[in-house]
Amino acid sequence: MKLLVLGGTAWLGRELAAHAVAQGHDVTALARGTSGAVPDGVDLVRADRDAPGAYDHVADREWDAVVDLTRQPSHVRGALAALAERTASWVFVSSVSVYASHEHPGTDESAAVLDPVTEDDEDPETYGARKVACEQAVLRAVPDRALVARSGLVAGPGDHTDRTGYWPLRFAHPASPDGAVLVPDSPIGTQVVDVRDLAAWLVDCARDGRAGVVDAVGPVVPLLRHLETARQVAGHDGELVAVSPEWLTWHGVVPWSGERSLPLWLPLPDHAGMMAHPGTRARDLGLRPRPLARTLEDTLAWELASGPGRRRRAGLAPTDEVALLAAARDGR
């Protein structure tokens, strides 16, 4: 397969390109190259997708498949204008963030999506709506040969968002001298898909010309079971100090990601379905997630190798957690 990856130097794109090369495919990546190097065996075409003529060096070739990972609508429109007639298959990596509501568990691909935002920006608040605009452009241009893969939370080695690495690392290196770890006492589900499984599946879909709109998600695992798996992987035997979501909010701890957060925890009821999609279509099309324990074990190994003390994008700072543990134990 002659595969063109629009990206290929950041986390998922790089994993996808590396897997495709390992499978014997001829892989070209079009990217600025500022997010990192392409994997060995990948031909890099340097281009800025915001610039005129960005696709000139790849639009004169024939491709078996194009994979696009962008979040910017203008990038999708430009790529389709230049390449839609040059490829047999088009794969667009979208997100479950496109759904208008995340309140109901069991929501599938037929659910309503957000109103599209067709202009580019970097505002996290418009991320899902920009992905909707990207999806719509793809489905208008190549309706019969496009796979729109709405990815769930991507996990695994290399996760610089820190949402999946925080817990195994914290259990391996507790902030408290006595080994205690603060955890949210919430019944919410978690749903992650290993970056390696997602990348391999996307390559297979591109090769086989699979089409349709698909939620690319892993199995639903209750948050407390997810945390117990992370704890076992890390060999933690200290105390778990479980506190309610209301207590966390009162003490200024935010859900999901960012500074002073606890990853994977989301407020109920508004987000009860955010990580509770059936994923039936993806399984029917061959997505086979590995066990959560393997993902967390490999993520912990990557965290330890890359340096646990690096500046993090999610989680509690050790000093914050020690103070919060003291407050929880004192009933404050």
Which residues are CB-contacts of 157 (< 8 A; sequence separation ≥ 6)? Answer: 195, 298, 299, 301, 302
**Chain segment 277-295, per-residue pLDDT in tens:** 999 999 999 999 999 999 9
Looking at the 3D structure of the chain, how many domains does it have? 2
Residues 39, 120, single domain; the answer is yes
Residue 282 domain flag: no
Asked whether residue 67 falls in the same domain as residue 175, the answer is: no
Q: How many Å apart are CA 295 and CA 302, to the nearest integer?
A: 11
Clarify whether residues 105 and 164 are in a common domain.
Answer: no
Q: Do 46 and 124 share a domain, yes or no?
A: yes
CA distance 208 to 247: 50
Q: Does residue 37 surpass a pLDDT of 90?
A: no
116 shares a domain with 250: no
* Residue 264 near residue 223 (C-beta atoms within 8 A): yes
**Residue 308 pLDDT > 90, yes or no?**
no
Q: Which of 151, 177, 212 is the last residue of a domain?
A: 151
Residue 254: domain span: 157-191+220-271+291-329
pLDDT of residue 261 exceeding 80: yes
Q: Are residues 62 and 186 in the same domain?
A: no
pLDDT mean across residues, the chain: 96
Q: Are residues 16 and 109 in the same domain?
A: yes
Q: Is 315 within a domain? A: yes
Predicted confidence (pLDDT) per residue in 39-90, tens digit = 999 999 999 999 999 999 999 999 999 999 999 999 999 999 999 999 999 9
> For position 226, what pLDDT does the model report?
98
Q: What's the predicted TM-score (pTM) here?
A: 0.96
